Structure 1
Amino acid sequence: MTALAACAPKGDAKKGGPGKGPTTVGYIVVQPTGVPLTTELTGRAVAYQSSEVRPQISGVIEKRLFTEGAFVKQGQPLYQIDPSLYRASVNQAQADVDNARANREAADALAERYKPLVAIEAVSKQDYTNAVASARQAGAALAQKQAALETAKINLRFTTVPAPISGRIGRSLYTVGALVSANQANPLATIQQLDPMYVDIQQSSADMLALRRALAAGGATPASAKVSLTLEDGSDYGQTGVVEFSEVVVDPSTGTVTLRARMPNPRGLLLPGMFVRARFAQAVDNSAFLVPQSAVSRDPKGNATVFVVGQNNTAEARKIVASRTQDSFWVVTKGLNPGDKIITQGLGKIKPHAPIKPVPADAPQKIKPRKDGDGKGGEKSGAKGG
C-alpha cells in the first residue's frame, strides 16, 4: 500500500523546522470477519478400492486372460485353471444324484404298495413303518447328493478366476503352469480402483482437541473441509476433494488421528502410496480480524504489534496475536476491538504517543503550491512515506 506523509513547503521548514505539525497517516477500520482455520498437513494417497485376486481351488494355471497394467471390469475372466479334475467331479456327483433318485423312487413305490395292504393286515404295521422310513431316508440321501453336485459345479466354475472389482490390475505374480491353491500366501494379482482416490491425512491429537474446544466454545463454526493438494514436486494438484470422516482413535505410536479425504483422479496423477500435502479448512473463526501485513511489525521478542489511532489523535502501539497469514493479511485473534482504526500508511514517520493526523487509507493528499522563491511551485503530488 502507498504510504502517506505530511509534506511542508520549504518556507515552512525554515520557520518551524522539519516535523512541525502532526504527521498525516492513513488508516483502515477493522471489523471481525469469518476467517477459515486453514490447516496444511501431510498425507498419503490410498486406492479407493483394492482387491487381491486369489484362487478358491487348487490346480495348475492353463491361461492368463488379461494384459498386465490394463483396466479390467468386474467379472472379467483373468485366469483359467485346469478344469479336468473338477469336471470329472461334476460327472461323478451327477451319477450319484441319479442313483439316489432311483433309490428314492423305489422306496417311495414300496411304501405306497404297503399302504393299502397294512389296512387289510396283509403286511405288518412294522413292515409298513420300515418302508416309509426307507423312503424318507432315500429322499434325504438324494438331497445330499444334489448338494454334492452343486458343490462340484461351483468348484468347476472356480476354475475360471474372475475380477472381483473393476480397476487397474497390476503384474501377475504367477505364470502359466504354476500350481496354485486356495490357501496360498500370495495373491495371483491385485486390482486397484484409482478414480476417485483416498488421501489419508495425519493430524495431531492436540490440534484436534484444540479445534473441538473452539467449536464447543462458539468462537468457530464447522467448515465444509474442502481439500486441495500439493504434489511431491511442489505443483498444485488442480482438483479439490472433501474430508469424508475422521478416525475415532489416536495412533499410540504417533499421537495422530487419521482423516480421510476423497479426491477425484481423472488423469491418474495420484498413485497409491504417494505423499502429498493437504490444505483444508476445518472451521471458520468468526471473531478474527484481517490486517494488512504491511501494518504489522515485530518487536525484538517476536511479539506482533500494530499502530492504532488513539485518543486525541495520537499513535498508540498495541500488541496483538497474529500467528498465521491469509493471502496478504495477518489473521489477528487477540488484541483488537471492532471499529479500531489501524494505521497502514505513514508508519515510518510516527512513534508511540506522537500526534497524528489520521485520514482514510489511500486518500489523495493535496500539496500547497510553493512560493516563487522556494523552488518549483504549482504542483500537486502524493508524497511517499515509510
Structure 2
Amino acid sequence: MTLQVSSASKILRTAVVAAAVALALSACGKGGDAAQGGKGGAGAQQQAPAPVVGVVTVRPETVSLTTELPGRLESYRTAQVRAQVGGIIEKRLFQEGSYVKAGQPLYQIDSSTYQASLESARAQLATAQATLAKANADISRYKPLVEADAISKQEYDAAVTSKRSAEAGVKAAQAAIKSADISLRRSRITAPISGFIGQSNVSEGTLVNAGDTTVLATIRQTNPMYVNVTQSATDVMKLRQNIADGKLKAVNGGVEVDIKLENGKMYGQKGRLLFADPNVNESTGQVSLRATIPNDDNVLLPGLYVRVVINQADIANAFVVPQQAVTRGKQDTVLIVNAQGGMEPRVVTVAQQKGSDWIITGGLKEGDKVIVDGTMIAGMTGAKKVTPKEWTPPAEVAQQSSATKVGDQAASAPAAAASAEKQ
C-alpha cells in the first residue's frame, strides 16, 4: 500500500513539472513573436534612402561644330638636285640631313675641262677683236681712196664685208665665253631652294652627265607645311555657305584649322585652310583641299599622317551633354532631376556629335540636371525620388585615382625610410 502511494506521488510531480515547462515555453514563444512584430512595424515606418544618380548641370555656351579629316603632310617646296653638266664628282660639300640655304654649294664636279673651254673662248674673242680692228683700219684707209677713185668700189665693199664678219666673230666669241662660263659655274652644283637636304645618292668619284635621271639629293622646305585632305562636295559647299553667312570667320583668306597628331595630341599652332582644287571627283564626289601649317620648330615631317580639325560653324546657346545621357530614337530624350527630386523625361534636339558628347540645341534650359549615370538602379528599386550628384567622367576619375596613389606613395616613402632607420 505504501509502494502504490509513493509511485502515484512521483507520477504527479512529473506531470506538474512537464506542465510548467510547457507553459514557460509557450510564454517565450509569444514574447518572441511580439518582439518581431514590433520590429516589423518600425521598419515599415522608415523609408529607404533615395538612390544616388550622376547628373550634369548644363549651361548654355557657344559650341564650335568641327569635322575631322585624315590627311598627309607634304613639303611646301621640294627640289631634286641633278647635274646640269657632265663629269666626275670630286667633293660633296654638305652634311646629310642638315639645313642648306639657296645658292649654297653642294657638289663639285671636275671643272678642268670647263676651265679650258672658257680660256679657249676668251682666246677666240681676242682673235675676233683683232680681226675686227684690222677690218676697221682697212675701212678707214679705203674710204678716201674710193672717193678719189684710187681703188675700185669692189675692194671697198670687200673691206666692209670683212668688218661685218669680224663683228660677228666678236659676238660669237663673247657668246662662247658666256656658255663656257655657265658650264664652269654649273660644275659647282648649288642648292636651288632653302630647306633640309636628305641623303646623298652619289659619292665622290661618281660620273654624272647632263640631263641624267640620277637624283643627287633632295631638298625639302618644311616651313610652312602643306597637308592635303579630301572632303565631300556637300560639306565643302556648306562650309563656304557658312563663311558667306558670317557663321565662320575667314582669316587671311582662309579658315583656321587645328592639326591632331598620330598620338592624339593637338599641334600647338593653327593652320589655314585653302581651297586648292575647285573640281569635284566624279567617281567619289570628293573635293581635294589643302591647308598650310606653320612649322617653325620643324616638329612636323613630310609624309606624316595627321587629322585636320575644321571648324564648320559656331552654335550659340547650345548645351553639351555626354552621349550616354541621351536616348536616340524617333524622338531624342534625356532624363532630368526635377524640382521635386523625381526623374522627368525631356525631348531634346541633337545637332551634332562632338567627341564623346552630343550638342543639344533644344529641349533644355540653364540649370537642368541631366541624369548621366544611375538610372538603371533607380528603375530597379522603383524609387520615386533620387539624389543628384555631379557626374565625373571616367577618364578624370582614373586621373584622380592615379594622382591619389602617387601621393600616397610619396607620403609613405618618408615613413618607410624612418622606420628602416629605427630598425
Q: TM-score, normalised by structure 1?
A: 0.71
Structure 2 counterpart SS, 1:122: coil
Task: Find the aligned partners of 2:182 and 2:352 in 1 and give their Cα distance.
Answer: 65
Structure 2 counterpart SS, 1:108: helix
What amino acid is the match of 1:137? Answer: S
What amino acid is the match of 1:320? Answer: T
Task: Find the aligned partners of 1:63 and 1:251 in 2 and give their Cα distance.
Answer: 48
Higher share in strand: 1
**Is residue 265 of structure 2 the alignment partner of residue 241 of structure 1?**
no
Q: Which position in structure 2 is the counterpart of 1:384?
A: 388
**Is residue 142 of structure 2 the alignment partner of residue 107 of structure 1?**
no
Q: Out of 280, 297, 313, which is 2:310 matched to?
A: 280
Q: Out of 258, 271, 274, which is 1:228 matched to?
A: 258
Report the CA distance between 1:214 and its aligned residue. 4.7
Q: Which position in structure 1 is the counterpart of 2:352?
A: 323
Report the CA distance between 1:286 and its aligned residue. 4.8
- Deviation string, structure 1 residues 298-357 (Cα, Å, up to 9, x no partner): 14x374235799xxxxx7843523321378x63235x56xxx746722767x9xxxxxxx
Report the CA distance between 1:223 and its aligned residue. 4.8
Structure 2 counterpart SS, 1:284: strand
Contact kept? 1:73, 1:166, Cα under 8 Å:
yes
Q: Which position in structure 2 is the counterpart of 1:159?
A: 187
- Deviation string, structure 1 residues 32-81 (Cα, Å, up to 9, x no partner): x7542312111111112211111111111111122222222222211111
Structure 2 counterpart SS, 1:227: strand
Report the CA distance between 1:102 and its aligned residue. 0.9
Report the CA distance between 1:219 and its aligned residue. 7.8
| Structure 2 alignment gaps of length 5 or more | 1-43, 49-54, 338-343, 379-385, 391-423
Distance change (3 Å), C-alpha of 1:384 and 1:37:
closer
- Deviation string, structure 1 residues 236-283 (Cα, Å, up to 9, x no partner): 1442222241122234565432322222334433211111112131x4
Higher share in helix: 2
What amino acid is the match of 1:272? Answer: P
Task: Find the aligned partners of 2:143 and 2:370 in 1 and give their Cα distance.
Answer: 118
Task: Find the aligned partners of 1:177 and 1:136 in 2 and give their Cα distance.
Answer: 47
Q: Which position in structure 2 is the counterpart of 1:269?
A: 299
Task: Find the aligned partners of 1:117 and 1:342 in 2 and give their Cα distance.
Answer: 114
What amino acid is the match of 1:210? Answer: K
What amino acid is the match of 1:40? Answer: E
Contact kept? 2:348, 2:360, Cα under 8 Å:
no
Distance change (3 Å), C-alpha of 1:219 and 1:84:
closer
**Is residue 286 of structure 2 the alignment partner of residue 256 of structure 1?**
yes
Larger radius of gyration: 2
Contact kept? 1:292, 1:344, Cα under 8 Å:
no
Distance change (3 Å), C-alpha of 1:102 and 1:278:
same
Task: Find the aligned partners of 1:385 and 1:149 in 2 and give their Cα distance.
Answer: 89
What amino acid is the match of 1:53? Answer: V
Q: Which position in structure 2 is the counterpart of 1:21?
A: none
Higher relative contact order (CA 8 A, sep 6+): 1
Distance change (3 Å), C-alpha of 1:251 and 1:85:
farther
Show the 5 A alignment for 1:126-165. Answer: 126-165=154-193
Contact kept? 1:229, 1:276, Cα under 8 Å:
yes
Distance change (3 Å), C-alpha of 1:215 and 1:41:
same
Task: Find the aligned partners of 1:208 and 1:41 in 2 and give their Cα distance.
Answer: 12
Task: Find the aligned partners of 2:206 and 2:130 in 1 and give their Cα distance.
Answer: 42
Task: Find the aligned partners of 1:219 and 1:318 in 2 and give their Cα distance.
Answer: 30
What amino acid is the match of 2:353? Answer: R
Q: Which position in structure 2 is the counterpart of 1:373?
A: none
Report the CA distance between 1:166 and its aligned residue. 2.0
- Deviation string, structure 1 residues 201-237 (Cα, Å, up to 9, x no partner): 2222232123334555x383345433322222x2414
